[in-house]
Amino acid sequence: MVHAAIALPWWGIPLVVFGVVTSMFLQGIRWWLLLKAFIPAISFSKVMTSHFAGIFYSIALPTSAAGDFVRTFLIAKENDYSVAWGATWISRILGLVVLLIFSTVGLFFMNKNALPQSVFISVLMVFFLLVLCIVVSFSKKITRPVRKALRQWVPFIKVLEVIENIRSGIYQYRYKKRNLLTVFLVTVLVQLLLVGYTCVLIMGITGKFFPLECLTFLPLIEIVCMSIPLTPNGLGVRELLNAVMFTQLGLTKEQLGVYIMLGFLSISLKLVGGIPILFGLFKPKKIPS
């Protein structure tokens, strides 16, 4: 692994820093755009502070989606919780849709003999199932019988009321098509950045360029890490899947080791989310007059 690390170009680490920090910032902007659709006066700095705080806590909490719960909780304390959680749901589901689109496009253009046919069928089925779930969730006519059944079986009326309010917050976005389009484009940019810089990074480590393979495998790895809430940031799960990807590409274990080390660097960069937390702790308290 030492030889592979020495062969890494000088721009490898700066590329990781730039790609990770920029993507985190764009993800915060995406969430702010969704919140601003229904809370026009919401502070950009407050949203970004909550966003980076969520990123910081996600280092220790299971799955990469754990940060969503933290940042949404912080915003929901001072704003309409249905809008806050609705924006989070929309942000997360758009991210999943874009990841599946990327992976499906990569699979379509890849050599059909490179992967088992079951992989192609599985990805397409998940993609269409996700689209179906989105359509169903935005249809009151389809979900009305489900809500009636839940009222009969769930004993906690307050819980149902909260769920219904959040669902209404999600439903309202169907009238914000321009906002959704903007957020969708930002999401595409975020995922393109992540796939693009990772593809260039692998080229720097291995000397080989795998654009279609990265477009196919990297989104699938992220989806699995989000779906399996076992370890913080998918730690261990992501490395196992990366090993499978490197094996599929015919790369060496030494090159995989360098790639995983740089992956740990990207996780450590999430510590920048602790800056606004520390700032809030040491910020002088305002004394009421």
The pLDDT score that the predictor gives to residue 289 is: 46
Angle (CA) 238-275-285 rounded to 5° is 140
The pLDDT score that the predictor gives to residue 92 is: 86
- CA quadruple 141, 31, 72, 80: dihedral sign: negative
The pLDDT score that the predictor gives to residue 234 is: 66
The pTM of the full predicted model, rounded to 2 decimals, is 0.81
The pLDDT score that the predictor gives to residue 254 is: 86
The pLDDT score that the predictor gives to residue 256 is: 86
Q: Give the residue extent of every domain in the chain.
A: 2-281
Which segments of the chain have a pLDDT < 50? 288-289
